[in-house]
Structure 1
Amino acid sequence: MINDRLIDAGELPLAVRDFGGDQPPLLLLHGAGGNLAHMTTLARALRAKHRVITVDLRGHGRSGDGPWTWDAALGDLAAVCVQMELDRPAVVGHSLGGMLAALWGQRHPEASGVVSLDGNPPPSRVEHLPGMQPPAAAADLARLRKVFDEMQAGMGRPIPADHLADLVEAQRKAARDMGANEKVWLEGFRRNLVHESGETSTRPSAAAAAQMRELMNELDLSPVYAATTCPELVVLPTRALPEQEPFADLYAAHRRFLVEQAAAIGHLRYISLADASHAMVVEQPGLLADLISDFLTTSAR
């Protein structure tokens, strides 16, 4: 039985969804700009072998707002574990959630395992783009930074009432194009809507997005991987998203860097998932569920 509830994390309330069951616990985390609904299809695929708990990270979905720091977000997860009585849960995350999973593993050697589903900072440094000439890399990074700046500036702005129906229809089309469950996709969209003082806006806010972006750009995962002693799996993409195609060379170089980074840590297990982009959670939830469950079962032996 699926159960939604709000828990008190001290500083703010956190929305969680418990998929039930008495199997080993697994905490499943969404990416920046998402919410727990976006993880529903993967959660259902994992439920056969795990008690799956999904969470709206702070500033997303139905959870409260608060300053975005790694310590604060990891503290939220610790509060979820205490209040949901999760003993040594596996932590699996996508994108931002994958970075949190990696940081959790570093700080919690007793964890049964952590899995990062392309939980990597976005391209932001010339030295992380092997195979590209530095001037070309710097120019592409500047163009990409401008795209992210424009996206960030638009976050949290009020949505005109007569635009909402068009936005919902655009989300339906996006779900069809991605091959996603339309009902789940729309729940994810609506869960990040905020209705206040007669206006509708989206979460996260521009301020929260700026804080998360700065954290991700500054994060160096190499020492995190090196210091982690609990079992850890990193699942990497092998192709670009459609919206990344204008930066195809940059993202191809960045994927090379991610493989090199993972391969340099002898005890880290990593997989470059065939025909997978950053949207792997939507593209291949069944395969990911099998990979995650097999990894965690093998690591527990």
Structure 2
Amino acid sequence: MKVLALHGAGGSPADWDPVISALDGAHEIVPLTLEAPWDWDSVLDRIEPHATDNPAVLGMSLGGMVAALWGRRHPECPAVIDIDGHGVPTQPQRYLDPTAVADDIIALRELFQGFGQPELQQAIEELDCFKVFHDVRCPMLLAVATKPMPGQTLFEQYHEGLLRDLPTLPPNIEVVRMDTSHAAAFENPTLVATLIKDYLDRR
């Protein structure tokens, strides 16, 4: 199956190389570049020319969010695979008690702004992925990391919010938990490749 692959923020199509190697030709993976401007409709419009023959769409982190947006736009898509792209920990709505972590969110937002790409940071923060997920009608796999990355603040509180929200997703979205951090595609490309292959083989 042809699969368009979308990288994470600050990444590149080459980020998929370890996963493609682990797939060993099982599917035709076509990595694409995600770049500004970060208006989501225009991001999807730039993917459209590559989407001949109704491909599946795969994404990690930011790419997973875009893959879900693609699935919302294209209910005929055979499969969306989202590798830990469900929002960012600066979104208050993802917490059980937003007021308890308000100061931490502000500090984390300032840290993210120091990484550059403020337009992208704002666009991601304004995107409620769970609202998108509820509008997706095609088959979708959402793989959720269960371990924090080194120095990752608010992980436990954010993950508690995910555990609240994940059961609300519609039945066309299959949720799996990965025994990795957010950097799953780098930490364990074989695991990610297995998830991809097993899901697509059932389509």
Q: Could you state the TM-score of these two structures normalised by the residue count of structure 1?
A: 0.64
Measured against aligned partners, the alpha-carbon deviations of 1:84-115 in whole angstroms (never above 9, x if no partner) come to xx311110000110000000011111111001
Whether 2:126 is the aligned partner of 1:218: answer yes
In structure 2, relative to structure 1, the CA distance for the partners of 1:240 and 1:282 (3 Å cut) is same
Corresponding residue number in structure 1 for 2:167: 263
Aligned residue runs from structure 1 range 140-159, under 5 A:
140-152=104-116
* Whole-angstrom CA distance in 1 between matches of 2:138 and 2:121: 27
Q: Which has the higher contact order (CA 8 A, sep 6+)?
A: 2
Match of 1:79 among 39, 49, 52: 49
* SS in structure 2 of the partner of residue 42 of structure 1: helix
* SS in structure 1 of the partner of residue 151 of structure 2: helix
In structure 2, relative to structure 1, the CA distance for the partners of 1:56 and 1:125 (3 Å cut) is closer
Corresponding residue number in structure 2 for 1:93: 59
Whether 2:169 is the aligned partner of 1:289: answer no
Matched AA of 1:74: L
Matched-pair contact (CA < 8 Å) for 2:4–2:57: yes
Matched-pair contact (CA < 8 Å) for 1:109–1:228: yes
Corresponding residue number in structure 1 for 2:102: 138
* Whole-angstrom CA distance in 1 between matches of 2:110 and 2:35: 26
Corresponding residue number in structure 2 for 1:108: 74
Measured against aligned partners, the alpha-carbon deviations of 1:219-266 in whole angstroms (never above 9, x if no partner) come to 11222212211110101111111131xx2xx21111122233221113
Give ranges in structure 1 of 5+ residues lacking alignment: 1-23, 60-66, 153-208
* Whole-angstrom CA distance in 1 between matches of 2:54 and 2:98: 45
Give ranges in structure 2 of 5+ residues lacking alignment: none
* SS in structure 2 of the partner of residue 28 of structure 1: strand
* Whole-angstrom CA distance in 2 between matches of 1:58 and 1:111: 22
Q: Report the count of equivalent residues.
A: 202
Please report the RMSD computed on the Cα atoms of aligned residues, expressed in angstroms: 1.5
* SS in structure 2 of the partner of residue 216 of structure 1: helix
- Greater gyration radius: 1
* Whole-angstrom CA distance in 1 between matches of 2:195 and 2:113: 35
Whether 2:50 is the aligned partner of 1:50: answer no
* Whole-angstrom CA distance in 1 between matches of 2:63 and 2:7: 5
Measured against aligned partners, the alpha-carbon deviations of 1:68-87 in whole angstroms (never above 9, x if no partner) come to 21111111111122xxxx31
Whether 2:145 is the aligned partner of 1:237: answer yes
* Whole-angstrom CA distance in 2 between matches of 1:133 and 1:93: 28
